[in-house]
Amino acid sequence: MTRHVATALIRLLGLVVLLGGSALARSGLERNGADPLDSPMWENMHERFLAGEDYVFDAAIEVIAPSYAEDSLNVPVAFSVSGIENIQQIAVFADLNPLPMVLRLRPVTVAPAMAFRFKLQQSSPVRVAALTDDGLWHVGSAWIDAAGGGCTAPSVGMASGNWTETFGTVNAGFFPRESGNRLKLQIMHPMDTGLAEGIPRFHIEQLQLRNLDDDSLMAELELYEPISENPLLSFDIGAVSGVALEGYDNNANTFTADLVNP
C-alpha cells in the first residue's frame, strides 16, 4: 500500500515536472501506453533494456530508417531528439532481432543524435529510447522489413580472412553542418555476432569521445553485436574540431586515435 502511494506521488511529481517544463505541449502522451507497432516483444524489451521503468511513446524521438532492409548486413538508421532536455542516455534496440541490443549512447556534449548501420535478422521494430533526468524513457520507433540473414552470416572480413590487415584502422571526416560540425568515424573491425557457426563473438564494446582541447568527455558509447562490420558512426559535435577517441573490444584490443579537423 505504501509502495503504491509512493509510486503515485512520484508519478504526480513527474507530472508536475512535465507540466512545469517545456513538455507542457506534449502532456497528451500516455504513460506506459500500448506499443504503436504492436510488437509481441515490447514488454520483454521494456523489462530487459529499460529496466521496467516508465516510458512514453514520443514523436520527439525521430527514428529514420528505410522501410525495407535492402542489405540485411547494413541497415542504416539515424535518430535525433527535438525539444527534450536533460537526456541521460539513449538505448537503441530491435525487438525481433536474435540479439536485440544495438547500442547505448550517453551524450554529454554531443547532440542526442547519431547515425549507424546494423545487422537485422528479420523484419522488426527498431526503437530509440531516451532517458530523461525525471526517470522517464521517451521512445521512438520505426518498422523495418527485412528478407533476413543479417546476424547469422560471418563478417566479410572473417569469411575472406583479410580482416587482420585493416583491423583497428580509424578513418574519420569532419563536415560543417548548419548545427555545427558532424564527425563521421569508422573503426575497421569484423563485429562478428557469435551466431555464425565456428566464429566467436568479436565486437567493439566501448568507445569514448573526448574534446582534444580540454580532455572533457563528449560522449560514451556501448556497441553490441548487431552493429555492422567496420562500424561507421556519425555524431553532431557542435563547435568541437578535435576529438580523442578511446575504446576497446571484447577481446581487450584497444582503439585510440586523435581525430583533428584538418
Sites of contact with another protein (CB under 8 A) = 64-68, 70-71, 74, 76-78, 115, 117, 147, 163-173, 175-177, 182, 184-186, 188, 232, 234, 253, 255-260, 262
**What is the nearest approach in angstroms of another protein to the Cβ of residue 17?**
32
Q: Please, which residue, 7 or 251, has the CB nearer to another protein?
A: 251
Please return the burial class of 168, using the count of CB atoms within 10 Å of its CB with bins 0-12, 13-18 and 19+. middle
**What is the nearest approach in angstroms of another protein to the Cβ of residue 23?**
26
Positive or negative: CA dihedral 21, 22, 24, 26: negative
Closest by CA to 208, choosing from 241, 244, 175, is 244
Q: Please, which residue, 129 or 144, has the CB nearer to another protein?
A: 144
Q: Please, which residue, 29 or 170, has the CB nearer to another protein?
A: 170
Q: Please, which residue, 152 or 186, has the CB nearer to another protein?
A: 186
**What is the nearest approach in angstroms of another protein to the Cβ of residue 205?**
17
**What is the nearest approach in angstroms of another protein to the Cβ of residue 114?**
9
**What is the nearest approach in angstroms of another protein to the Cβ of residue 178?**
10
The cell for 70 is 535492402
Determine the residue type at 26: R
Q: Please, which residue, 178 or 215, has the CB nearer to another protein?
A: 178
Instruction: Determine the Cα–Cα distance for residues 15 and 13; give it in Å rounded to an integer.
Output: 5
**What is the nearest approach in angstroms of another protein to the Cβ of residue 119?**
13
- What is the CB-side half-sphere exposure of residue 24 using CA atoms within 13 A? 4
Q: Please, which residue, 82 or 88, has the CB nearer to another protein?
A: 82
Place of cell 530491435: 94
Q: Please, which residue, 89 or 261, has the CB nearer to another protein?
A: 261
**What is the nearest approach in angstroms of another protein to the Cβ of residue 141?**
15
